């Protein structure tokens, strides 16, 4: 079946650098995408979302880019901090469906 997946399972970056986490999706019917941050033992925390009629959306220190042509989603985190260490999931929603389809998660490690 169609699913959302991530390119890299682990990403290690230096504190203060920018991080880019990538996500590929295959369901062309997806019209809404979300990035979640999940810390160990906690529930997924909403970071930022984007609809399919947009290609970029910015939040506080985060930017999501959507390339519908190649079905690619990315999360950019500026000036990463130790508190950014977590597993990051992209998720997509197919119009008409309730459940989110999650990717496999990228573990972001911040090095001092």
Partner 1 sequence: AAGVIQSPRHLIKEKRETATLKCYPIPRHDTVYWYQQGPGQDPQFLISFYEKMQSDKGSIPDRFSAQQFSDYHSELNMSSLELGDSALYFCASSSDTQRETQYFGPGTRLLVL
Who's near 73: CB < 8 A, 6+ residues apart?
22, 23, 24, 25, 33, 35, 50, 64, 65, 66, 67, 90, 92
Q: Which is nearer to partner 1, 21 or 34 (CB)?
A: 34
Which residues within the stretch 24-83 sit at the binding site for partner 1 (CB under 8 A)?
Answer: 32, 34, 36, 41-46, 49
Q: Which of 19, 21, 86, 103 binds partner 1 (CB under 8 A)?
A: 103
Torsion 100-20-77-88 (CA) sign? positive
101 binds partner 1 (CB under 8 A): yes
Contact 109, 13 (CB under 8 A): yes
# binding residues, partner 1 (CB under 8 A): 21
Q: Which is nearer to partner 1, 15 or 26 (CB)?
A: 26
Q: Which of 61, 71, 72, 104 binds partner 1 (CB under 8 A)?
A: 104
């Amino acid at each position: 079946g169609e699913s959302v997946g991530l390119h890299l399972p682990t990403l290690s970056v230096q504190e203060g650098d920018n991080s880019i986490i990538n996500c590929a999706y295959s369901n062309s019917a997806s019209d809404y995408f979300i990035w979640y941050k999940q810390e160990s033992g906690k529930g997924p925390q909403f970071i930022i979302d984007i609809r399919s009629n947009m290609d970029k959306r910015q939040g506080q220190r985060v930017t999501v880019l959507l390339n519908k042509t190649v079905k690619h989603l990315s999360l950019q985190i500026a000036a990463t901090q130790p508190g950014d260490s977590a597993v990051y999931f992209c998720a997509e929603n197919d119009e008409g469906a309730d459940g989110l389809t999650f990717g496999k998660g990228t573990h972001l490690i911040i090095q001092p």
